[in-house]
Chain A
């Protein structure tokens, strides 16, 4: 069975600085998708970034980028130029290529200090 592990329950960063959130996963599949979701205090889950496993190039969305290491089964999220609005719970998630089911990690609470 696939598992997703986020080893950092909480992280903090100064405004305008850079922070990296860790995520590792375990799977025997070769094709899959990885996601980072943000859950702000409103509790609305928002997709931050998505990575297809068959793509070697790391995904980037504005200030958000990932470091995808397929062999190491690692999928970290880097937030550059952190903003106060980035404060939220961040969940790493895995989805197999032939399934619709998302498997979530336990989340990392990110605090941003002015």
Chain B
């Protein structure tokens, strides 16, 4: 399978600050990238889908001004959590898909803790 690198693996930030999470596709061109959020012992909740060079499409209930997604190249997408609050603490996972791929490949996830 494809190699997807997500960085950082964990981050602790102060309430009110912003934090950026990177998702890199290391060995193929990711035309589509997905960002998920996973609460403890729950399933993955899709937050947004981004295509290279286009604005991200956000799922209902996800604040696009709070969760900024940039997909500037075929190998990199970033998720920025702006003005973070403790309720934003969660596990964030990216996944990538190439145009010719049937399945998506996942990064190792980022645990965000807002204190």
Contact = CB atoms under 8 A, between A and B. Distances in A.
Nearest to B109: A43
B93 A45 contact: yes
Residue among B34, B49, B104 with max Cβ neighbours from chain A (10 Å): B104
Interface in A99-113: 100-102, 104-107
Interface residues of A, number: 19
B97 interface: yes
Contacts of A33: 102-103
A100 B54 CA distance: 15
B52 to A, nearest CB: 13
A42 interface: yes
Q: Chain B binding site: helix, strand, loop or mixed by DSSP?
A: strand
B95 interface: yes
A98 interface: no
B69 to A, nearest CB: 15
A33 B38 CA distance: 22
A107 B40 CA distance: 12
Contacts of A50: 102-103
A44 interface: yes
B1 A42 contact: no
Cβ-closest 5 pairs across A and B? A45-B106, A43-B109, A44-B108, A104-B43, A106-B43
Given A45-B95, A91-B43, A100-B34, 6 more contacts: A35-B103, A44-B106, A45-B93, A46-B1, A50-B103, A100-B97
